[in-house]
Amino acid sequence: MSTTALDLRTYPLRDSATMLRRNLKRMLRYPSMTVTLIAMPVVFLLLFVYVLGGTLGAGLDGTVAGAGGRAAYANYVAPAIILMTVTATIQGTAISIAMDMTEGIITRFRTMHIARVSVLTGHVLGSVLQAVFSLVVVIGAAILVGFRPKAGPGGWLAAAGFLIAVAYALVWLAVALGQVSQSVETASNLPMPLTFLPFLGSGFVPTDSMPAGLRWFAEYQPFTPIIETIRALLMAEPVGNKAWIALAWCAVIALGGYLWSKRLFNRQG
Amino acid sequence: MASTHSPAIAVTGLRKSFGDQVVLDGIDLDVPRGTVFSLLGANGAGKTTTVKILSTLLGLDAGEIRVAGYDVVRQPDAVRAAIGVTGQFSAVDKLLTGAENLRLMADLHHLARDAGRRRAADLLEQFDLTDAAGKPASTYSGGMLRRLDLAMTLVGSPQVIFLDEPTTGLDPRSRRDMWQIVRDLVAGGVTIFLTTQYLEEADELADRIAVLNQGRVVAEGSAEELKRQIPGGHVLLRFGDPEQLDAARRVLAQAARDGDALALRVPSDGSLSSLRSLIGLLDDRGVQVDELSVHTPDLDDVFLALTGNPTKDKVTAR
Ligand SMILES: Nc1ncnc2c1ncn2[C@@H]1O[C@H](COP(=O)(O)OP(=O)(O)O)[C@@H](O)[C@H]1O
Ligand SMILES: [Mg+2]
């Protein structure tokens, strides 16, 4: 009996690039999803700046530098809206993962000798790119309604890197959520709490104004240091240690999401 | 160790349960290279479960399985590199076009860009999809989707191909197209493991057939061998009313209902003497028979003899 040397090498980078191309094509084919995902943070932006901004801005006096009012509130709320853009994007990730799982093409990938993780990394990279695109649109809209970031080129660069890290971490979580969902419906609901988490933090009003229990939660939940870091970077304020806390949270979320996703993907159905 | 002389598929003592439900209860299969093997069974017999286990999608409870010479549990990567699977449910990306789906497969098999495009174009041509190549797969008919699905499976030139109910739900023309495709593939030297609910399909395509019933292989052999396992064909008796049918049933212990029709199938070798005694038996009791026809054996009869159930209840025969 002759033994033939079998070449079973895998090519994770090449396969991930292939899967990324597939996901980008799917996004272009189905642009209504991207539009919906961008619309949500924009609606919240308009609502908070124009409907609530005058009143909420007045309440900022003393807590935040600068005068109160609508203009000050636009500056205050923009980082929360920016984070919301990321959470909206990952809702799309969960939905497209769940759609994939029901469509059967994933089953085909599982029977093929490919770098298995590429099925997931393709989605992750696609979603991060989608988040970047959405962020550009939403930040543009925020500037149109009065957001006046003070960051220089360095600040913008740091903010961009930081936002990509946040998106990357949350996308891995969404990949797991999309896989545990048995239906597209569930997949669109599961990440919903993430969409509302910025409200229970320093995203829309300073935490000082909250009752004690809620304030404790608001100060320690991961989105608060993330929002504060975005705010500090874009408004050219000192970042302090909150950036490290935020990045630590991102690392934990990314690693947890990655391991959970990988386990879900490798389980035998 | 993969020897080129090892069988394409060798299964011994395969068992699989879902909770308390035993789906596969000790299956043995042996498929030589370059042949078509058909696993025939009713809905729920365990065909898809078998295909999933053989194609590394699902774990097994017990047994030894080698596909293309590799152990499915210990060498799943080697198995995956050797097989192509077209499952029961469509596994194409419906948002992509036919050509894009095929190029996706070419990329995943690491074909060079030009080679990949050529392979995709050839397969589109071969499967009569060239005109639809640029349209999203979501606009394809059932038959076109099936063809695209199979074309995607072939991009990597697999040695062993699994087809799980490849023609279920297709119109007669598309079914015939699919049969021709399978014949062409075998002519090219690959091994095909095909599941079906249709006796006719197994009869048309398979070199060997295994009948799966209640978790076991109840018969295995070529269509001819299976037909030889029963003495002969059957006599089909049609009745005008249920009373006559019941009366005949009381006389003929081996008779089985033919679906919902007012008709009975009586195993028979079709010889004059056996017909004479059958008619005599019915005449003695005064049973009124509207119509009598003699059927030479086909796989339907094999199923009837093996499972004691008329095939119409168990397997769809057409
Ligand atoms: N994942 C599963 N969990 C529980 N039961 C299952 C699962 N998959 C299949 N079954 C059961 O196993 C039996 C065989 O199913 P299947 O292999 O799909 O049959 P077939 O393909 O021959 O129609 C059925 O009774 C089905 O309900
Ligand atoms: Mg099935």
Is residue B69 situated within a structural domain? yes
Mean pLDDT on B1-13: 79
Note whether A269 contacts B108, CB cutoff 8 Å.
no
One domain for residues B177 and B275: no
Residue B316 belongs to some domain of the structure = no
Q: Is B131 a member of any domain?
A: no
pLDDT tens string A71-84: 788 888 889 999 99
Q: Domain check: are B159 and B34 in the same one?
A: yes
Q: How many domains does chain B have?
A: 2
Pair B262, B281 in one domain: yes
- Tens-digit pLDDT profile for residues B47-78: 999 999 999 999 999 999 999 999 999 999 99
Is any ligand 1 atom within 6 A of the Cβ of residue B41? yes
Please tell me if residue A2 touches chain B, with a CB cutoff of 8 Å: yes
Question: A22 — contact with chain B (CB < 8 Å)?
Answer: yes
With a 6 Å cutoff on the Cβ, whether B310 touches ligand 1 is no
Separation CA B231–CA B274 (nearest Å): 12
Give the pLDDT score at B231: 58
Q: Are residues B214 and B155 in the same domain?
A: yes
Same domain, B145 and B287: no
Give chain A's residues under pLDDT 50: 1-3
* Angle B51-B57-B59 from CA coordinates, rounded to 5°: 95
How far apart, in whole angstroms, are the C-alpha atoms of residue B108 and residue B39? Answer: 30
- Pairing, β B160-164 against β B9-18: unpaired
Residue B317 lies in a domain: no
Phi and psi at B10, nearest 5°, equal -135, 120
Query: Nearest C-alpha to atom 3 of ligand 1 is from which residue?
Result: B18
| Position B314 confidence tier, pLDDT thresholds 50, 70, 90 | very low
Residue B45 in contact with ligand 1 by CB distance below 6 A:
yes
In this prediction, residues B229-239 reach a mean pLDDT of 77
B299 confidence band (pLDDT: 50, 70, 90): low
Which residue does chain B place closest to A18, by CA atoms? B107
Shared-domain flag, residues B147 and B223: yes
**Section B97-104 average pLDDT:** 97
Asked if pLDDT for residue B124 goes beyond 60, the answer is: yes
pLDDT band, residue B121 (cuts 50/70/90)? very high
Q: What is the DSSP string of B145-166?
A: HHHHHHHHHHTT--SEEEEEST
Q: Answer yes or no: pTM beyond 0.90.
A: no
Structural domain of B86: 9-92+140-227
Residue B308 belongs to some domain of the structure: no
Residue A92: closest CA among A199, A169, A191: A191
Which residue type sits at B162? F
Q: Which atom of ligand 1 is nearest to the CA of B41?
A: 22
B64 and B16 in a single domain? The answer is: yes
Give the residue from B185, B204, B227 where a domain finishes.
B227
pLDDT of residue B317: 41
Ligand nearest to the CA of B87: 2
> With a 6 A CB cut-off, is B44 part of the ligand 1 pocket?
yes
- For residue B111, is it within any domain? no
Give me B54's structure tokens.
């053989």
Name which of A206-215, B182-191, B247-256 the model is least confident about: A206-215
Provide the residue type at B150 as one letter. Answer: L
Touching check for B159 and chain A: CB below 8 Å? no
Residues B276 and B149 in one domain: no
B88: in domain: yes
Determine the distance separating the centroid of ligand 1 and the alpha carbon of B67, expressed in angstroms: 22
Task: Give the chain B residue whose CA is nearest to the CA of A104.
Answer: B91
Claim to verify: residue B219 and residue B192 sit in the same structural domain: yes
Check B104 against A11: CB less than 8 A apart. no
Write the residue with the smallest CA distance to atom 8 of ligand 1: B49
Distance from CA of A118 to the nearest CA of B (A): 10
- Count other C-beta atoms under 10 Å from residue A206's C-beta: 16
Q: Which residues of B touch A111 (CB under 8 A)?
A: 55-57, 80, 83-85
Kind of pairing between the strands at B234-238 and B263-267: antiparallel
Residue B159, domain CATH: 3.40.50.300
Interface test with B, best of A11, A29, A105, A116 (most B CBs within 10 A): A105
Segment B83-105 mean pLDDT: 94
Whether residue B289 sits in one domain with residue B161: no
Mean pLDDT of B84-109: 94
CB distance B196 to ligand 1 below 6 Å: no
> For residue B155, what pLDDT is reported?
95
Crossing angle for the helix pair B172-187 and B142-154, to the nearest 10 degrees: 10
Based on the fold, state whether residues B51 and B189 are members of the same structural domain: yes
| CATH number for the domain that contains residue B269 | 3.30.70
CB contact under 8 A, A269 and B57: yes
Handedness of CA B300, B302, B305, B308 (dihedral sign): negative
Task: Say whether residue A211 is in contact with chain B using an 8 A CB cutoff.
Answer: no
Question: E strands along chain B, which residues?
Answer: 9-18, 21-31, 36-41, 62-67, 70-71, 83-86, 160-164, 191-196, 208-213, 216-221, 234-238, 256-257, 263-267, 291-295
- In a domain, residue B280? The reply is yes
SS3 B45: coil
Range of weakest confidence among A101-105, A137-141, B87-91, B155-159: A101-105
**In a shared domain, residues B216 and B238:** no
Which range has the worst mean pLDDT, A69-78, B16-25, B82-91, B130-139? A69-78
